[in-house]
Structure 1
Amino acid sequence: MTTTPMRIVHCVRSPIGGIFRHIRDLAIAQTEAGHDVGLICDSSTGSAYDNRLLDQLRPKLTLGVARFPMQRQLTIQDLTATLALYRHIRDLAPDILHGHGAKGGAYARLIGSVLRLGGRNIVRVYSPHGGSLHYHPNRFEGRVYHTLERLLGRLTDGLIFVSDYEAAAYESKVGRPKALSRIVYNGLTPEEFTPVEVGEEAADFVYIGMLRDLKGPDLFIEALYNIRLSTGTAPRAHIVGEGPDEHRYRKMVEKFGLERAVTFHGALPAREAFKLARTVVVPSRAEAMPYIILETVAAERPLIATRVGGIPEIFGRYANRLVEPGHIGKLTLAMDGALENPERMAAEARELRSCLAETFSTELMNDRITTLYQELQGNTPAEETPSLGTESVSARAPRQAVYARSSNR
């Protein structure tokens, strides 16, 4: 596809985890397509591992990587940060200002709107990546953030959702989008579809993800303890990741007497983490479209995951294998079943992988997003877009209730 070169700036608060993986893949693909791309993110977030990934990306972006202090919650410091970001974005003169996550989306749309008032022709695009949509609409924080999303919706030219679930959550909690909207699945590179083999010395289970309750590592630890209570032996397990609640999870492991069975690691590349254990466990309480699920399925690793967010869309006709989120008894049964029947787990992993490549690719992801940019600039005929109401749900999986079980953790 031949496109007119664009100046594209991505804005995100926290350059970690799946959201940064998405931006990194997208920015690299856009750069390789001949566009000038830049990234703006928080200066205080990220471990040594995350910062190495950011440093690797920096020389590839012609508009550079800029870091400013950005608070997670709404604070008075946001005013200072907004002014600094405004000056930087103004000088970059982007054609596309693409905000990711609640905070990045707010900065991008507010600053883009001010620049438009000054005569700049800037397209304002927003990708929630879960973000404020994880909050329950009947709780105070949910009401605040969803009201802000409704107000910012008036300053939005394009909306990109990473799953049918996320689109449904937006419509239910915020309202029907007025902006041109697309559902664009996260994508993987061709080399990520090479199966990962593990050795005889591999542990039984590995948790891979951020160390915070929303992702469920506490449930993972408790399930290991339950198996030890019922069998007399604790499964060997690894916990891979970093996050604000790591100290509490280490205390849980000590409290349950699992120190000899559980090993904590920092962040690792997913395909290295896969080699640590025979089965990957992702016990999330809420998700949008998690990369770790895609990476695990593509690597043909046995997987236990919960029925949240866009995960059923990945599993498709195999969605009945998913575990109810937040249900420690069912998670324990699933992990116990994996120990008893590894051959079944391996066969299920092969089945899942066989139907993933065509739908979840970086090439398709980049093409769909770039096409949306062009449409918003008026450079191509508008693509026929399905409604984001109930009739637009993917046939691959039934729509779920859009309220996250544990939205304020």
Structure 2
Amino acid sequence: MSTEKPLRILHCFRSPVGGVFRHVRDLVEEHVKHGHEVGILCDSSTGGEHEEKLFEQIKPMLSLGLIRLPIGRSVGPSDLAALWKAYQHIRSLQPDVLHGHSAKGGVLARLIGSALRVNRYRVARLYSPHGGSLHYDRNSLRGHVFFNVERLLERFTDALCFVCHYEQKTYAEKVGTPRTQARMIYNGVQESEFSPVPLNADARQFLYIGMLRDLKGPDVFIDAFVEAEKLTGNHLTGIIVGDGPERDKYQAAITAAGLSERMTMYPSMPARKAFALAETVIVPSRAESLPYIILEAIAAEKPVIASRVGGIPEIIGEKSQALVTAGDAGNLAQTMIKSLRSPDWKQQTLPDANEFRQRFSTPVMAGQILSLYRELLAKA
């Protein structure tokens, strides 16, 4: 057993939904298992019933507490009030590590950590972009502003922690070669998730699960579904699981296409519960970093078809036939048809199970991140 003293770790992020929330929950669980004290600071206005249930599950693990403050999506005057309230909370907790996730969380963790440093308080300041502002076009006004801010904030950063090589490369291209320490550590899934999920008796053929917004491509899935039906001359079946700002738009598109009997929408639910609803998982995103849903699906031994964006090829394999052109409904439709006609589609297109498990497990991820925390504190 390690004789090193337990750490006090606080994770800061804005939106408690999707992959970032999943990433933080996994780190909390693993680090608490090893005796560390952990807390969370995030927005109080984001998330629904599903996220509230997740908070209830992890609250007993949060010895440093769950701090929820109003943190807006866009930059505005309210950010100053949020920053001050967050500083007051964090100062009272005396953390060893402040780990910021995505843009707003990164700002909070690094500025507050730096304020504590001014008062000679020893704290490690980390930032994980998780895609976030890196999705902006560097030639756009917004992108130019965000990337200059990211560059400035490097001065207040002890380490940048990227979740895939794509994210690290994109940061270097859009912000610049990091002037502080940088580390690439893959996301991982829990050991308990490396087991197949049996299909329900009434399971459909295709499943989209994720945020309901155009960036994630549910509209591409619907269009590809329509196209695949035309090309095959057969009715297909599908499921959409998720919540988001454009849910009503997608429901209207399903109705307009005459798919109401063959494509059903459900609110957010645990991924493994959703996996029982359909055979093949479709991830038609226009932009991604390293999406958990693909890691979860492969661990559950589900066939996957996904956009060739972000770090997805690092998971599935650069040459996999399961990769499609982002935003191209025709290409997705053709690949969906191919999966239906290939009995060994999963074996043909997905990575070796043992190699996948060695690279993308939560204990491996959490152990590498903890080592980075220790390394930074030794230098502080």
TM-score, normalising length from structure 2? 0.96
Matched, 1:127 2:146: no
More off after superposition, 96-105 vs 139-148:
139-148
- CA distance in 1 between partners of 2:169 and 2:346 (Å): 33
Query: Aligned AA for 1:147?
Result: N
**Shift in Å at residue 200 of structure 1?**
4.6
Equivalent residues, number: 379
- Deviation per CA, 1:139-182: give whole Å up to 9, x if none: 12111111111111111001110000000011111111122111
- CA distance in 2 between partners of 1:368 and 1:131 (Å): 22
Aligned ranges for residues 259-298 of structure 1 at < 5 Å? 259-298=260-299
- Match of residue 363 from structure 1: 363
Query: Aligned AA for 2:168?
Result: A
- CA distance in 1 between partners of 2:353 and 2:270 (Å): 19
Query: Aligned AA for 1:48?
Result: E
**Shift in Å at residue 38 of structure 1?**
0.6
Do the aligned residues in 2 keep the contact of 1:300 with 1:349 (CA within 8 Å)? no
- CA distance in 2 between partners of 1:237 and 1:14 (Å): 28
**Shift in Å at residue 120 of structure 1?**
1.3
- CA distance in 2 between partners of 1:318 and 1:361 (Å): 23
- Match of residue 10 from structure 2: 9
- CA distance in 2 between partners of 1:4 and 1:178 (Å): 30
- CA distance in 2 between partners of 1:348 and 1:247 (Å): 36
2:42 partner SS? strand
- Match of residue 326 from structure 2: 325
Do the aligned residues in 2 keep the contact of 1:301 with 1:349 (CA within 8 Å)? no
1:325 partner SS? coil
Instruction: Describe the shift of the 1:251–1:317 C-alpha distance in structure 2 as closer, same or farther (beyond 3 A).
Output: closer
Aligned ranges for residues 193-208 of structure 1 at < 5 Å? 193-208=194-209
Instruction: Describe the shift of the 1:194–1:77 C-alpha distance in structure 2 as closer, same or farther (beyond 3 A).
Output: same
Unaligned runs of 5+ residues in structure 1 are 381-409
Query: Aligned AA for 1:374?
Result: R
More off after superposition, 93-102 vs 321-330:
321-330
Do the aligned residues in 1 keep the contact of 2:286 with 2:309 (CA within 8 Å)? yes
Instruction: Describe the shift of the 1:351–1:174 C-alpha distance in structure 2 as closer, same or farther (beyond 3 A).
Output: closer
- Deviation per CA, 1:352-388: give whole Å up to 9, x if none: 43431001111111111111111111179xxxxxxxx
TM-score, normalising length from structure 1? 0.90
Do the aligned residues in 2 keep the contact of 1:303 with 1:345 (CA within 8 Å)? no
- Match of residue 144 from structure 2: 143
Q: CA RMSD in A?
A: 1.6
- CA distance in 1 between partners of 2:122 and 2:39 (Å): 17
Do the aligned residues in 1 keep the contact of 2:316 with 2:350 (CA within 8 Å)? no
Unaligned runs of 5+ residues in structure 2 are none
- CA distance in 2 between partners of 1:283 and 1:354 (Å): 26
- CA distance in 1 between partners of 2:180 and 2:141 (Å): 26
Aligned ranges for residues 5-404 of structure 1 at < 5 Å? 5-316=6-317, 318-341=319-342, 343-348=343-348, 352-378=352-378
Instruction: Describe the shift of the 1:261–1:320 C-alpha distance in structure 2 as closer, same or farther (beyond 3 A).
Output: closer
Q: Percent identity, aligned pairs only?
A: 48
- Deviation per CA, 1:308-348: give whole Å up to 9, x if none: 1111111236535311111111111011112222x122433
**Shift in Å at residue 259 of structure 1?**
1.0
Do the aligned residues in 2 keep the contact of 1:124 with 1:157 (CA within 8 Å)? yes
Query: Aligned AA for 1:361?
Result: S
- Deviation per CA, 1:182-239: give whole Å up to 9, x if none: 1000111222111122145210100011111111000000111112333343311100
